Amino acid sequence: MQNELKSAICFNDFVAYFGARGVLVLAWWMGAAHAVRIREDQHSFPFLQINGAAGSGKSLLLDYLQKLNGQGHCGHSLAHATQAGRAHIYTNADRPIVICENYEELPDHSFDWDELKQLYNSCPITINAGENHFQTRMFKGALVITASQPVECSDALSSRMIMVDLSAKDAQPTRIRPDAIAEVDLIQASAFGLEMKEREAWISNNIRYYGPAYQKELLEKYGSALNARTALNCSQMLVMLDLLCNLLSIDDGLRLETRKLVHDIAFLDTIPY
């Protein structure tokens, strides 16, 4: 089953292009399939922020990920939407929402990014259903933010994110044509999403059982300067990475390289700005 699934999603081509950063994003995407259950158990699930200059592969990566759910590309710009429009985007989601923001095109009335904080814990969202009738709904999706540069937001919001920089100096050099990923068959790739639907208990139970040990390890390693929320986010990602490596039989070298990226996120959180 491992080799069949790896072949269906062209995993080797994916890794050859995106390297450990792609594996980290894929681990998050795996958890996002059951973000509701994880938030019920852990009271939170992190947002994913993917940054990179033009040509770094952001769109290619997002197209690939959405194919894993049997979807074509779909993205939103929150800054160009009204408050009511944004609320409908949040409440109608049952899978990862992709937010695409281009700083060069943002309007002067850009919204307050802190509006997203409530989605981290899945707080109720109130929407206007018309004629002064309001409805309260829960956020059932997960949130991906992609931009050409890191989002300018509060520490409270940034601590709710796992950030992946595709333009980093140590990013994996491209060894294949992007067409090898762009041409991944949607029907075949959706085998990943179908497999994830059957894995809710496996994913949520492992995060609940092993997450606290990883969280303790991170807090002991990086000390009191590490934000407890960041430690929780990173512990969830470390468990998801273990599960993904088990599911796809990923070699230890790549697992350790990806694990280091998670630890880098924790370490950077301890550095004062």
Q: Provide the pLDDT for residue 108.
A: 52
Put the strands of the sheet holding 142-147 in their side by side order: 96-101, 142-147, 47-51, 161-165
Q: For the chain, what percent of residues have pLDDT higher than 90?
A: 57
State the pLDDT confidence band at 247, using cuts at 50, 70 and 90: very high
Domain count, the chain: 1
Mean pLDDT across the chain: 87
| 106 has a pLDDT exceeding 60 | no
What's the rounded Cα separation, in Å, for the pair 212 and 164?
A: 23
Minimal CA–CA distance to 8: which of 199, 175, 196? 196
CB atoms within 10 A of CB 57: 22
The enclosing domain of 134 has a CATH number of 3.40.50
> What residue numbers bound the domain in which 265 lies?
2-269
- pTM for this one? 0.92
Q: Is the pLDDT of residue 79 over 80?
A: no
61: Cα separation from own chain's centroid: 12
